[in-house]
Amino acid sequence: MIKERMEEALNRQLNAELYSSYLYLSMSAYFDSINLKGFANWMNVQAQEELMHAMKFYNFILERGGKITLSAIEAPPREWDSPSSTFEIVYKHEQKVTALIHDLVDLSISEKDHATNNFLQWFVTEQVEEEASADGVVQRLKLAGNSSGGLFMLDRELGQRVFTPPAASKEK
């Protein structure tokens, strides 16, 4: 049985993952509206990944005999300035999520909750990848500068990203 403090914190993270999905879906719509379909695809896949993260928290809370609390999801912004500033925001957002995950790990240690600590390790590793992939695009956009050729090449590449559902991957 999970302790109340841990249960509350995991429910807050469930909400944060749902917000991340909202945020990236809003960015996907922005890229779609400026005809960068590859960027829109990348964001759409990212939004699906965040939903998968949320479901991992949801399933874990239930598995531990905890209660699910679904609270209101904050509305993300509707307008974005440019592809590069949007990806800067993604990178900063992922750094914030990493800090949230690390806080949860700290709490699991202070609560001596080894099962939750073990569960969170997947997210610790995942956040390294999340930050690296966002920063990767930030850097590529810097290289592309104002060249529309560079931007369209990157758009083509980001259009190839596909979502791998958890059942088809090794992760639950």
The interface with ligand FEO within residues 102-161 (CB under 6 A) comprises: 130
The interface with ligand FEO within residues 7-26 (CB under 6 A) comprises: 17, 20
Size of the site for ligand FEO (CB under 6 A): 7
Whether the CB-CB separation of 50 and 69 falls below 8 Å is answered with: no
Give yes or no for residue 43 binding ligand FEO (CB under 6 A): no
Of 7 and 130, CB closest to ligand FEO: 130
Q: Give the span between the Cα atoms of 78 and 98, in whole angstroms.
A: 24
Count the residues in the chain.
Answer: 172
Quote the least distance from Cβ 150 to ligand FEO, whole Å: 26
Of 88 and 94, CB closest to ligand FEO: 94
**Buried-exposed string 29-62: b where 16+ CB fall within 10 A, e elsewhere:** ebbeeeebbbbbbbbbbbbbbbbbbbebbbebbe
Q: Could you tell me if residue 169 is left (phi over 0), alpha (psi between -120 and 50 degrees) or otherwise beta?
A: beta
Closest by CA to 161, choosing from 30, 63, 58, 42, is: 42
Quote the least distance from Cβ 93 to ligand FEO, whole Å: 7
From 28, 51, 53, 120, residue interacting with ligand FEO (rule: CB under 6 A): 53
Quote the least distance from Cβ 125 to ligand FEO, whole Å: 12
Of 21 and 117, CB closest to ligand FEO: 21
Question: 170 Cβ partners below 8 Å, 6+ apart?
Answer: none
Of 18 and 151, CB closest to ligand FEO: 18
Of 47 and 144, CB closest to ligand FEO: 47
- Applying CB under 6 A, the residues found at the interface with ligand FEO are 17, 20, 50, 53, 94, 97, 130
